[in-house]
Amino acid sequence: MYVAKSPLSDADQKTVSEALQGALVDLVDLSLVAKQVHWNVIGPRFRSVHLQLDEVVDTARQHSDTVAERASTLGVSPDGRAATVAQSSGIGKTPEGWIKDADAIGVLVDALGAVITRFRERIDATGEADPVSQDIFIGITADLEKHHWMFQAENG
């Protein structure tokens, strides 16, 4: 049976694993939610929101890869399958069908807000256990919070 050598103690390994798995699910779902809105948004700000959402998708996809490979690096099998994402994501239910631009922005403000709260907790939880993983969470949070600001500013 394959066991990669982890530089962490068992307890730290457990802490960090949970944080990474949770982060993976949140980021994969964020990429799917942002694409869903990207396709369904309507209204005067259609083009602007449509383009902005693809930047969120890029951020989410890139970071989900980093987080999943960090889990593998620590010897923990990551799980980013659709059913897992559907069941354990920290993002609330996305409405189906066409969505007006102002509502689209609201969906993203909420989704990003929920994910950021959980990432802040992961930063706190992993500093002792693994500063390398913590540093990855810090960098992702910076990006997510910047997107959060931009959507809030649009409803400002």
| Choice between 13 and 138, CB closer to a second copy | 138
Q: Find out whether 22 and 118 touch, Cβ atoms under 8 Å.
A: yes
| Tokens representing residue 154 in the block | 């649009």
> Minimum distance between the CB of residue 64 and a second copy, rounded to whole angstroms?
8
Question: Closest separation between CB of residue 138 and a second copy, Å?
Answer: 5
CB of 96 vs a second copy, minimal distance in Å: 6
CB of 132 to a second copy, least distance (A): 5
- Helices 46-73 and 101-126 pack at an angle, to 10 degrees, of 20
CB count within 10 Å of CB 91 equals 20
Distances (CA, A) of 1 to 5, 10, 11, 75, 77: 13, 18, 21, 12, 13
Rounded least distance, CB 133 to a second copy, Å? 9
| Residue 113: φ, ψ to 5° | -60, -45
The alpha-helical segments, DSSP class H, found in 95-130 are: 101-126
